[in-house]
Structure 1
Amino acid sequence: MRIERTYNATPERVWELWTTSAGIESWWAPDGFTVTVDKLDLRPGGELVYTMTATAPEQIEFMKGAGMPLATVSRKTFVEVNEPGALGYNSLADFIPDVEPYEFLTEIDIRAVHGGTRVTMTMEAMHDAVWTERLTAGRTNELDNLGKVIGA
């Protein structure tokens, strides 16, 4: 799957929002959730560990109905760190009821274009179509939130 956005910002500003604790916490979570960065080691082999917590009533209800905790710790391991143009990481999917943990790759391409910076996010599919659709919807919402932070 691929999602693209163009932002009215420099590649360096987009990189900063994507690779610092304060930047990640300002936009990373989909609507109705918050994110707190617990660990950030920005290098190939380094980890991003964060806690995502459902905060809005609709998301709280969904999480409870799915048999999932309201707060989950997520782990990503960086496979590429090329400031300010490319970022790649494996996400550990270890929070899905009745599914063995597995990793999936996300690659971010950040490029200066006329009028700003083009961000292309490419993601591997998850274990089934429903979770892949949820991933795509969540990442689309996150990129929209990134745009709101840049525009603020």
Structure 2
Amino acid sequence: MKGAKLQIVRRYRASPDKVFAACTDPSIMARWFGPKDFRVTELEADMRAGGTFAFRMVGPPGEMAAEGTYETVEPPALLVHTWRWTKGPPEYPPDGVTSRITYEFSADGTGTRLTFTQEGLLDQEEADSHKQGWSEALDKLGAILGEPQ
């Protein structure tokens, strides 16, 4: 896939099954998706290859929304989906780019190593912006999993 790429690696003390579930259960996803100052207002996910997702969140710049299609759902090791912004405030309008997000879950001692990769972003500036947002979201995921902050 062409375009800029970002990668974030995190280790959680929870099992791969538990981390995978937190990344695929819409009721849990709604608690951690989005940067720290954002709140998810809607999240729907049909968690199967070919299934779709859509979500909306509200934060300081306003409402933002994205959608995508699940390409691979292999519990508890791999989750891959597309990502496309569908709504944003004037300073962050949707760019029309469809990127791909891959979550790789692997046992790491008594916990899980999560490798999060987003590729196909417009440019490095967008990749850096997404990295900040996803880093904050993955911090929120850690809090849900009982990680110290």
CA distance in structure 2 between the aligned counterparts of 1:97 and 1:139, rounded to whole angstroms: 18
CA distance in structure 2 between the aligned counterparts of 1:125 and 1:30, rounded to whole angstroms: 20
Are 2:22 and 1:26 aligned?
Answer: no
* Larger relative contact order (Cα-Cα within 8 Å, sequence gap ≥ 6): 2
Structure 1 segments, 4+ long, off by >4 Å, are: none
In the other structure, the counterpart of 1:53 is 58
1:136 to 131, 140, 146: 131
CA contact (8 A) 2:68 2:84 kept: yes
CA contact (8 A) 2:67 2:86 kept: no
1:97 to 89, 93, 111: 93
Greater helix share, structure number: 1
Given the superposition, is the C-alpha separation of residues 151 and 125 from structure 1 closer, same or farther in structure 2, using an over 3 Å criterion? Answer: same
Given the superposition, is the C-alpha separation of residues 127 and 9 from structure 1 closer, same or farther in structure 2, using an over 3 Å criterion? Answer: same
Let me know the Cα RMSD of the aligned residues: 1.6
Greater strand share, structure number: 2
Identity over the aligned pairs, expressed in percent?
Answer: 26
Equivalent residues in 2 for 1:73-112, closer than 5 Å: 73-95=65-87, 96-97=92-93, 99=95, 101-112=96-107
AA aligned to 1:8 is R
Q: Unaligned regions of 5+ residues in structure 1, if any?
A: 55-59, 64-69
1:44 to 27, 46, 49: 49
Per the normalisation by structure 1, the TM-score is: 0.83
- The answer to which of 113-122 and 123-132 deviates more is 123-132
Residue aligned with 1:134, SS: helix
Determine which structure has more spread, i.e. the larger CA radius of gyration: 1
Give the total of aligned pairs. Answer: 138
CA distance in structure 2 between the aligned counterparts of 1:74 and 1:48, rounded to whole angstroms: 8
